[in-house]
Amino acid sequence: MTPQDAIQSIEQGFKEAVLATKEFRGEHTVVVALPQLRAVLEHCKKQLGFDYLIDISSLDHAGEEPRFEMVYELYSLTSQVHLRLRASVSEDHLEVPSVVDLWATANWHEREVYDMMGISFSDHPDLRRILMWEGYPFYPLRKEFPLAGKPSEMPDVAFTGVAPLEGGPFVTEPSTAGPVRREPRARN
């Protein structure tokens, strides 16, 4: 099977679901409608042999509608084919079907998307925060989250002020040197 074969199979089985296909530098992407996302992913796993879920991530297109986008990176170990599936998610309905029953590794990926972006997954067996503490009211990977962080009312959790940059354990120096030399270095 080639990426083109996989895309053709998806297009034939889900004509109304496929919104676009893209190829860039040898990477193949299929954009699908959210209501059919679960069915397309199940087809990829069971019929096309994409037995390895590399990653699930999400994008925040702040200022656009739909605002969010889900990205699924699939791989077939037998065919050695990589395929990316994308689906837009409206800010009004932040719920995506879970695929934990298809790929067990989806558990932590979905929890991370939930924790960092606030997109929930229907039928997820254990949907709770994975990095931030329960009750944390913000989603750190959303565009409106400030780079300096937000103050917290939680005592004894790191610090609530802005992290000092000057005098920290790592330093960078402006220069025309290459990227290896410009990387942050420990003092001394």
Q: Which domains does the chain have, with CATH numbers?
A: 3-186 (3.30.460.80)
71-98: pLDDT as tens digits: 999 999 999 999 999 999 999 999 999 9
Positions of the chain with pLDDT lower than 70, given as ranges = 149-175, 179-188
Amino acid residing at 22: K
Is the Cα torsion angle 106, 111, 114, 117 positive or negative in sign? Answer: negative
pLDDT digits (tens, 9 = 90+) for 37-60: 999 999 999 999 999 999 999 999
3-state SS, residue 57: strand
Q: Which residue has the tokens 């925060």?
A: 129
What SS3 class is residue 42? helix
Instruction: Return the DSSP state at 110.
Output: H
